Amino acid sequence: MGLSPVLYCMPLRAENRSQFNKIKLKKHRYLIALIITLMVAGVVILVTISVVQNKSLPKKLKYGIVLDAGSSHTALYIYSWPAEKLNDTGIVTEVDSCKVKGPGISSYWNDIKQAGLSLKMCLEKAKERIPEKQQHVTPVYLGATAGMRLLRLQDQFLAEKLMNSVEEFIKTYPFNFQGVKIITGQEEGVFGWITVNYLKENIGKDNVGGNPETLGALDLGGASTQITFVPDGKIESEESALHIRLYGKSYNIYTHSYLCYGKDQALKLLLEKLNASDDGTVLNPCFNKGYTRTINVTAFFDSPCTSIQHSTTHQIVTVIGTGSPDQCSHDIRSIFNFSVCTWSSCSFDGVYQPKVHGKFGAFSAYYFVMDFFNLTNEKPYDLSTVKHTVMEFCSKPWGEVRNSFSINEKYLSENCFAGQYILSLLQNGYNFTSSNWETINFLRKIKGTSAGWTLGYMMNLTNMIPAEPPYTKPLTNASYLTAVIIISIFLFFLLVTGFLIFRKKVFKTQNKP
């Protein structure tokens, strides 16, 4: 009978057991080190993805330049707007501005080359302000207003020659030149309306219940003045009616521009009415008493507004201020014609105008004159206060006025006339009364941007500039969420694995004989 086999296991020697434990410990260390490395890498990746995904995206901005070539001066405005446009209209804001030294470009008719050179300082400023890499795609426009409209009436060939000279000079700069243009009075009026309403947020925002109440625009320059508003009713004259659509909404606007009724040309109209005496003196009740000014008749009245009508035997005349506010107001009314009107209602010179409706923003020379009289607070002053302030100033002798103010003598001397002219234009011309005078807010800037036609002009022109896609995040929201979940699960798995290995090692250590 055979013997059953007996399984026999020989015990490991002490040295072999020690070597085996060392190998297992080494493997555990490598495994733990690998787990820690993977966990650190996972955390770094997770943090990196989160930072990159949630980082604020840079704004894609475009720039544009508008030169306002007015009758008395030129100003340059730099605008910017997001490359990705909203509702097909660029969201435009003013980022900088520059006033050109010297008179308006129309004054350089006898030195055409100088017209372009006068813009150099402001164009250089624009080069510094706009990033170099964007200059070649930055459009630049020049809009000339009433001063050039008058010069074109006098000599169309000369006006075109002057504009061409200015164009050639602007082309020497690295911008995307878009042309120079003599804008119409209607354009000047409606672009001013767009500007003030855009800045007041009456247009460009979603408003429940239809279009919000808009702000009328009153613009007073050196050679022309404009009134633009949405009337309460039908507009009778097609010439003064304009239908525009902005941000998906329609507006029926009344607008009219009066050439020759800007502040500077109106003064010429007044002086023309005041005939010179035999000794060549002109008594002007709208200049402070004691003020005198010598003018060259040919140069001063060289304008389509006066040159045809004016006649005098004197080449040089001396204007003497008499400081008579009541007579000044009477004489200013004489430059308007209120005797003719073939419509249901008119302003002056037979021009149709519906009844003024709503609130108004008055800017340009309106603001600067009223600011001189400290009448531009947020809460409008009543008409009687404005009248009293202007007349009190006009009654002061020139010596007292000159000693009280440290501003340019020419502008200081004309402030009595300017104040009286604004009162007459708004009351007698546009039919504002004491009951609605306080609907007029004299303003220069709205939210840091200048009130005037140039912003509205820029907004209109940006519609012709293609929109660009905005910067996008590296991952879509779904992809970002998926990546975070996967990495988090991976980290959790590593953490559990590491914990189990460590726990097993501790357990064996504690139960080691």
Known catalytic residues are 188
Q: Which residues of 59-73 are buried (b: 16+ CB within 10 A; e: fewer)?
A: eeebbbbbbbbbbbb
Q: Is 429 helix (H, G, I), strand (E, B) or coil?
A: helix
Single-letter code of the amino acid located at 352? Y
Helix axes 146-154, 185-199, angle to 10 degrees: 180
Q: Where are the beta strands (DSSP E) in 70-210?
A: 74-82, 93-99, 139-144, 176-182
Tracing tokens 């340059």 back to the chain, one arrives at 76
* Sequence-separated (6 or more) residues with CB below 8 Å from residue 44: none
CA 80 to chain centre: 9
Residues 48 and 41: their CA atoms lie apart, in Å, by: 10
Q: Are 375 and 386 in contact (CB under 8 A)?
A: yes
- Residue 327 phi, psi (nearest 5): -65, -35
In this structure, the number of other CB atoms found within 10 A of the CB of residue 403 comes to: 9
Q: Are 65 and 138 in contact (CB under 8 A)?
A: yes
3-state secondary structure 445-486: EECCEECCHHHHHHHHHHCCCCCCCCCCCCCCHHHHHHHHHH
Tracing tokens 């009415």 back to the chain, one arrives at 273
Helices (H), 260-382: 263-273, 297-300, 325-333, 365-372
Residues 413 and 393: their CA atoms lie apart, in Å, by: 11
